């Protein structure tokens, strides 16, 4: 193993284990709904996608915390349109609407 490879591995060791806060784990799933296939010339496609997320639990790793002070509800609508100019080229548009409600504080 050459010196550069060994140095690269040693420099990367501190960043191999990173803990991150996943505060947006119920966010908008844009990547799952993007992309319509290209059809034959002159075809128009419209895709409408709705997603509802309700986050009302708090976890610390595998442990579910007994804390009902957080609630987040997200509604998202994606409209995807595609028009094929030729058999190999199309124009596509993506339009989105997102409504997110976050409630914090101790529920009584």
Expressed as residue numbers, the domain containing 98 is: 28-104
The pLDDT, as a whole number, for residue 44 is: 92
The count of structural domains within the chain is: 1
> Which tokens go with 33?
């709904």
- The answer to the question of residue 14 being in a domain is no
pLDDT digit string (tens) for the chain, length 108 residues: 677 777 777 776 666 555 555 555 555 555 555 667 778 899 999 988 888 888 777 777 788 777 667 778 888 888 888 899 998 888 888 888 888 887 776 554
- The answer to the question of residue 9 being in a domain is no
Q: Cα–Cα distance between 99 and 19 in angstroms, integer? A: 29
- The answer to the question of residue 70 being in a domain is yes
CB 25: neighbour CB atoms within 10 A?
Answer: 10
Asked if 26 and 55 count as a contact pair (C-beta separation under 8 A), the reply is yes
Cα–Cα nearest to 74, from 14, 33, 8, 23: 23
- The answer to the question of residue 6 being in a domain is no
Kindly report whether the global pTM for this prediction surpasses the value 0.85: no
- The answer to the question of residue 83 being in a domain is yes
- The answer to the question of residue 1 being in a domain is no
- The answer to the question of residue 5 being in a domain is no
- The answer to the question of residue 3 being in a domain is no
The pLDDT, as a whole number, for residue 87 is: 87
The pLDDT, as a whole number, for residue 66 is: 73
The pLDDT, as a whole number, for residue 108 is: 46
């Amino acid at each position: 193993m050459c010196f550069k490879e060994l140095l690269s591995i040693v420099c990367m060791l501190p960043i191999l284990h990173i803990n991150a806060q996943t505060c947006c784990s119920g966010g908008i799933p844009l990547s799952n709904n993007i992309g319509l296939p290209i059809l034959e010339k002159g075809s128009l496609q419209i895709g409408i996608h709705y997603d509802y997320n309700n986050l009302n639990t708090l976890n610390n790793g595998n442990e579910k915390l007994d804390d009902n002070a957080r609630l987040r509800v997200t509604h998202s609508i994606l409209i995807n349109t595609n028009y094929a100019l030729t058999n190999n080229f199309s124009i596509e548009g993506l339009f989105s609407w997102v409504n997110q409600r976050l409630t914090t504080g101790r529920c009584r």
